[in-house]
């Protein structure tokens, strides 16, 4: 009995003391000097591996590429601290010769590796030469395809000789999420085979260095270097957090719980419902937008991607008919519970793109005419974004903006007006016939569309696909979704799909140049049916007019204003041809808790970078974050 009583007393004492114990999730580190961030890679199988150049061997967004790596340039997906272009290890922009077969780079001086060795042109040359002579490193292939030779005339100049003209070669060394990082020559030249060297502990070129990590891959802690002034971010100020922990907090529900308990300062992404819970219950938590729709629209365009090599989708009238059967308001509500930022054109409505493309094309879209075979219609409805805001206002109240400019920024602008009559006319023009309630193809078979979605791996996109399939089915098309969880990458590459909800458009976000994705849409890269298709033209669409636009873009400088005009030509072409149906930006519900830190990026007051913490660009967040007083 005495034993039982003792156990009861100890248990009670522990339970009373436990809340403090359970909250303190990091041992021996001051919480008010530590930023805790979700790493969406989850648990890293091979945690002790920091050789980021060996493909897929360890983690990347464990803080490794955000805090410890550096390269020549950065382009911010939002507005940037000092403009979108940032000369990082380079002292100036890349200098090309007239035919883009040579690129010269001037390097910054006074930058040091964390072990005290000065960074120099030799590191850049070593990095490139190692990739030239080693197959299977992460950037071996693009280097081997492009580079004929590399040299360092002096310690702060590097000259790249290219195998063929490439006006966008610098993109390989320009961070948009990541880029080719520079290797420490003095470490790797003694390491033997670069494919088998774990690089543990990593020697860092960024402002932080590895403090400790979980051998089971659950967490990684980085510490501010004592000599952080000798790194490239120093020009923007002192990094706020002394320690940054990147952790695997588990499924979305647990991330919400962890932030409510102030154990997770930045959630990378959660469900719309999780975001709404945090908005209601956590006073100091906020998203990119302070109010609805909260999420950060990533420079990625979610779309209905047809397999345009299939006879069914070769005819643009069919693709247009399917677009006119979609009610975007319903798709927005089903997928993001209304928190979507829609786009009718082939670039995401995020970063600087609305200014470069969406706004200038608005009047063209309003006047755009589509020939249904029986009449001409103007399918664009410029008020769809506003209609979504109006639908949400009764339930969300003053969370929903009323200013038209704010509405456009948060919810997007217009989209295609649902028009089943026009869709019917377009299908009839294409030779389709309706038999009873079922549409039949020109060769007399039922019109069947299977939309591949990723199920629980990407629930928001799955819900969008389900809603679209339902809308097509109501019209008499045999449409349904097929779950390709875990297999979508393979099916996408092999062309084993009718249509899918995915993305083939990713942009710089901050810079208007579209070559980041558009160059790969040239017909020279379209694989024959059955052969693997390389990223990103998953729709396998080729068009001579598009080829001309791409070829003209290749011949002009990255910053040439003609690039935006060519971009608009591309956008007009894909509106006319509808090779994919653009839906919305890939909105990421990144939630930031201000209990310990202030100065996070936000759409309204501080759009200095994308807050989504697995981006390499988020290193700029560290210099803006300050401890809450």
Partner 1 sequence: MRAYSLYLFRRLIQFVLVVFIGMNIAFAVTHSTPIDPVEQTISAATSFGSTSPDAIAKMRQSLRELYGLQGGPWQQYAAFWRRVVVGDFGPSLSAFPTPVSELISRALPWTAGLLTVSTLLSWTIGNLLGGLAGYYRESSLLRFAGILTMGLHPIPYYIVAFVLLIVFGFVWPVLPISGGSEMNLAQGFDVAFVGSVLVHSILPVASLVLVGLGGWFMGMRSLVSNIVSEDYVLYAELAGVDRRRILTSYVMRNALVPQVTGLAMSLGGIFNGAIITEQVFGYPGIGSLLVGAVHAGDYSLVLGVTAVSIVAVSAAVLLIDLLYPLLDPRVKVR
237 contributes a contact to partner 1 by CB under 8 A: no
- What's 57's DSSP letter? S
In the bound complex, what is the minimum distance in angstroms from residue 387's beta carbon to partner 1? 33
Cβ distance 232 to 111 under 8 Å?
yes
Q: Which of 50, 113, 160, 177 binds partner 1 (CB under 8 A)?
A: 177
Q: Which is nearer to partner 1, 24 or 83 (CB)?
A: 24
Measured CA distances, 627 to 226, 240, 290, 434, 596 (Å): 19, 7, 20, 65, 6
Residues 124, 61, 26, CA angle at the centre, nearest 5°?
Answer: 125
Tokens of 485: 């969880």
User: Minimum CB separation from partner 1 for residue 239, in Å?
Assistant: 19
- 468-506 in b/e form (b: 16+ CB < 10 A) is bbebbeebbbbbebbebeeebeebbeebebbbbbbbbbb
- Name the minimum Å distance from CB 284 to partner 1: 17
Site for partner 1 in 137-176 (CB under 8 A): 138, 140-142, 144-146, 168, 171-172, 174, 176
Is 595 a binding residue for partner 1 by CB under 8 A? The answer is no
Q: Which of residues 333-392 bind partner 1 (CB under 8 A)?
A: none
**Would strands 296-306 and 370-371 be described as parallel, antiparallel, or unpaired?**
unpaired
- Using the contact rule CB under 8 A, the part of the chain among 14-22, 95-103, 342-350, 358-366 near partner 1 is 14-22
CA neighbours closer than 13 Å in the CB half-sphere of residue 367? 6
Residue closer to partner 1, measured from CB, 250 or 442: 250
CB 206 within 8 A of CB 182: no
SS3 224: strand
**Residue whose C-alpha is closest to residue 448's, from 307, 542, 578, 576:** 307
Least distance between partner 1 and beta carbon 227 (Å): 23
| Rg of the Cα atoms in the chain | 26
Angle between helices 316-323 and 562-577 (to 10 degrees): 90
327 binds partner 1 (CB under 8 A): no
> Quick check: 247 binds partner 1 (CB under 8 A)?
yes
Q: Which is nearer to partner 1, 214 or 560 (CB)?
A: 214
Going by the DSSP 8-state scheme, the letter that residue 381 receives in this structure is E
**Least distance (Å) between residue 535 CB and partner 1:** 5
* Contact by Cβ (8 Å): 34, 242: yes
CB 89 within 8 A of CB 111: yes
> What is the rounded distance in angstroms from the CA atom of residue 302 to the CA atom of residue 539?
13
Contact with partner 1 (CB under 8 A) among 1, 56, 605, 629: 56
* Residues within window 207-236 making contact with partner 1, judged by CB under 8 A: 211-212, 214-219, 221
Whether the Cβ atoms of residue 400 and residue 391 lie closer than 8 Å to each other: no
- 112 near partner 1 (CB under 8 A): no
Least distance between partner 1 and beta carbon 367 (Å): 34
CB atoms within 10 A of CB 337: 20
Per CB under 8 A, contacts with partner 1 among 531-570 are 532, 534-535, 537
Q: Should residue 401 be labelled a site residue for partner 1 when binding is judged by CB under 8 A? A: no
| Binds partner 1 by CB under 8 A, chosen from 204, 209, 231, 520 | 520
Judged by beta carbon, residue 39 or residue 343, the one nearer partner 1 is 39
- Give the nearer residue to partner 1 in terms of CB position, either 45 or 562: 45
Two tokens, residue 152: 């360092």
Q: Applying CB under 8 A, which of residues 1, 4, 5, 28 lies at the interface with partner 1?
A: 28
Cβ-based nearer residue to partner 1, 30 or 446: 30
Residue 10 lies near partner 1 (rule: CB under 8 A): no
β-sheet bridge partners, residue 439: 434
Is 32 near partner 1 (CB under 8 A)? no
Q: How far is the CB of 349 from partner 1 (least distance, A)?
A: 20
CB atoms within 10 A of CB 257: 15
- Determine, following the binding rule CB under 8 A, whether residue 482 of this chain makes contact with partner 1: no
514 binds partner 1 (CB under 8 A): no
> What's the rounded Cα separation, in Å, for the pair 209 and 63?
9
- 108, 230 contact by CB (below 8 A): no
Assess 1 for contact with partner 1 (CB under 8 A).
no
Specify the long-range contacts of residues 374-378, CB closer than 8 Å, at least 24 apart: 374/425, 374/429, 375/425, 377/419, 377/422
CB 231 within 8 A of CB 114: no
Task: Report, in Å, the least distance between residue 323 CB and partner 1.
Answer: 26
Region from 250-258, 284-292, 316-324, 469-477 binding partner 1, contact rule CB under 8 A: 250-258
Burial of 83 (0-12, 13-18, 19+ CB in 10 A): exposed
> At which residue do the structure tokens 């464990």 appear?
62
- The answer to whether 249 contacts partner 1 (rule: CB under 8 A) is yes
Instruction: With contacts defined by CB under 8 A, name the span among 51-59, 66-74, 378-386, 396-404 that binds partner 1.
Output: 51-59
Q: Which stretch, 335-343, 378-386, 488-496, 562-570, contacts partner 1 (CB under 8 A)?
A: 488-496
Which segment (244-252, 330-338, 448-456, 564-572) binds partner 1 by CB under 8 A?
244-252
CB of 278 vs partner 1, minimal distance in Å: 12
How many residues sit close enough to partner 1 to count as binding (CB under 8 A)? 77
Least Å from the CB of residue 440 to partner 1: 31
Binding mask 183-202 for partner 1 (x = CB under 8 A): ------------xx------
Helix or strand (DSSP H, E) at 260: helix 252-260
- Under the binding rule (CB under 8 A), the answer on residue 49 touching partner 1 is yes
């Amino acid at each position: 009995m005495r034993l039982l009583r003792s156990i009861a007393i100890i248990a009670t004492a522990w339970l009373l003391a436990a809340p403090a114990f359970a909250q303190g999730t990091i041992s021996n580190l001051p919480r008010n000097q530590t930023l805790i961030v979700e790493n969406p890679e989850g648990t890293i199988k091979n945690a002790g591996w920091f050789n980021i150049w060996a493909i897929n061997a360890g983690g990347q967004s464990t803080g490794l590429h955000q805090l410890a790596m550096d390269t020549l340039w950065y382009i911010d997906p939002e507005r940037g601290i000092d403009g979108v272009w940032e000369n990082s290890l380079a002292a100036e922009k890349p200098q090309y010769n007239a035919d883009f077969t040579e690129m010269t780079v001037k390097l910054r001086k006074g930058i040091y590796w964390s072990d005290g060795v000065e960074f120099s042109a030799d590191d850049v040359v070593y990095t490139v030469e190692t990739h030239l002579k080693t197959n299977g490193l992460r950037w071996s292939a693009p280097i081997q395809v492009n580079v004929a030779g590399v040299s360092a005339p002096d310690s702060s100049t590097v000259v790249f000789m290219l195998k063929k003209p490439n006006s966008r070669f610098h993109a390989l060394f320009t961070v948009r999420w990541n880029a080719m990082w520079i290797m420490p020559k003095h470490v790797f030249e003694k390491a033997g085979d670069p494919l088998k060297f774990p690089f543990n502990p990593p020697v860092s070129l960024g402002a932080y260095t590895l403090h400790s990590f979980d051998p089971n891959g659950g967490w990684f802690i980085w510490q501010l270097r004592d000599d952080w002034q000798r790194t490239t971010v120093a020009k923007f100020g002192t990094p706020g957090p002394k320690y940054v922990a990147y952790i695997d907090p588990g499924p979305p529900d647990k991330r919400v719980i962890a932030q409510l308990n102030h154990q997770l300062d930045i959630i990378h992404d959660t469900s719309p419902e999780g975001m709404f819970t945090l908005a209601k219950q956590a006073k100091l938590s906020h998203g990119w937008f302070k109010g609805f729709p909260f999420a950060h629209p990533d420079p990625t365009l979610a779309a209905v991607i047809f397999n345009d090599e299939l006879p069914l989708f070769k005819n643009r009238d069919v693709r247009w008919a399917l677009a006119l059967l979609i009610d975007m308001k319903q798709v927005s509500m089903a997928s993001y519970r209304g928190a979507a930022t829609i786009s009718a054109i082939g670039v995401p409505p995020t970063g600087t793109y609305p200014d470069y493309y969406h706004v200038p094309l608005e009047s063209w879209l309003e006047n755009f005419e589509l020939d249904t075979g029986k009449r001409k219609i103007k399918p664009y409805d410029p008020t769809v974004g506003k209609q979504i805001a109006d639908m949400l206002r009764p339930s969300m109240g003053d969370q929903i903006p009323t200013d038209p400019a704010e509405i456009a920024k948060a919810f997007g602008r217009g989209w295609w007006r649902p028009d089943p009559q026009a869709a019917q006319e377009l299908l009839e023009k294409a030779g389709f016939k309706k038999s009873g309630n079922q549409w039949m193809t020109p060769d007399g078979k039922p019109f069947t569309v299977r939309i591949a979605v990723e199920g629980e791996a990407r629930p928001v996109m799955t819900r969008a696909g389900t809603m679209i399939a339902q809308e097509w089915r109501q019209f008499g098309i045999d449409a349904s979704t097929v779950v390709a969880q875990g297999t979508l990458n393979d099916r996408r590459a092999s062309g084993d799909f009718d249509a899918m909800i995915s993305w083939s458009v990713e942009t710089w976000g901050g810079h208007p140049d579209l070559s980041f994705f558009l160059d790969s849409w040239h017909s020279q890269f379209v694989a024959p049916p059955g052969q693997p298709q390389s990223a990103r033209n998953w729709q396998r669409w080729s068009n001579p007019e598009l080829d001309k636009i791409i070829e003209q873009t290749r011949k002009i400088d990255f910053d040439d204003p003609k690039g935006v005009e060519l971009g608009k030509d591309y956008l007009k072409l894909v509106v006319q041809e509808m090779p994919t149906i653009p839906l919305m930006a890939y909105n990421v519900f990144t939630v930031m808790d201000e209990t310990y830190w202030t100065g996070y990026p936000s759409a309204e007051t501080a759009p200095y970078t994308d807050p989504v913490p697995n981006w390499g660009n988020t290193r700029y967040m560290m210099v803006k974050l300050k401890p809450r007083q």
